[in-house]
């Protein structure tokens, strides 16, 4: 599960959250200031905002931008090949 940890007053976090919504993938958003104390303690040394994806931490503006671009490509390919539709590859072959 993709989890975005953020502060409520972070404009950049709003952009990240919107991108995740537009991808229409399962994710959750945790406002770190409202989260339980054990969550705050476990992630207190990581600068906000950050994303946790299957145990991997993605933090920092450039790293998060790279992650989101890779995620967009992955989701696009996944949806392309996971449908019942026929497709044509670069060589003109069809399903």
Residue ranges for the chain with pLDDT beneath 50: none
Q: What is the pLDDT of residue 8?
A: 86
Q: What is the pLDDT of residue 52?
A: 93
Domains delineated in the chain: 2-81 (3.40.30.10)
Q: What is the pLDDT of residue 78?
A: 81
Q: What is the pLDDT of residue 69?
A: 95
**Percentage helix, strand, coil, to 5, in the chain?**
40, 20, 35
Q: What is the pLDDT of residue 53?
A: 94
pTM over 0.85: no
Q: What is the pLDDT of residue 37?
A: 56
Q: What is the pLDDT of residue 41?
A: 62
């Amino acid at each position: 599960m993709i989890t975005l940890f953020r502060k409520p007053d972070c404009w950049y976090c709003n952009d990240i959250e919107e991108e995740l919504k537009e991808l229409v993938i399962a994710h959750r958003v945790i406002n770190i200031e409202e989260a339980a104390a054990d969550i705050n303690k476990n992630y207190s040394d990581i600068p906000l905002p950050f994303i946790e994806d299957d145990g991997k931490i993605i933090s920092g503006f450039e790293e998060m931008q790279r992650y989101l671009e890779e995620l967009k490509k992955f989701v696009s390919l996944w949806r392309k090949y996971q449908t019942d539709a026929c497709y044509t590859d670069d060589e003109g072959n069809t399903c």
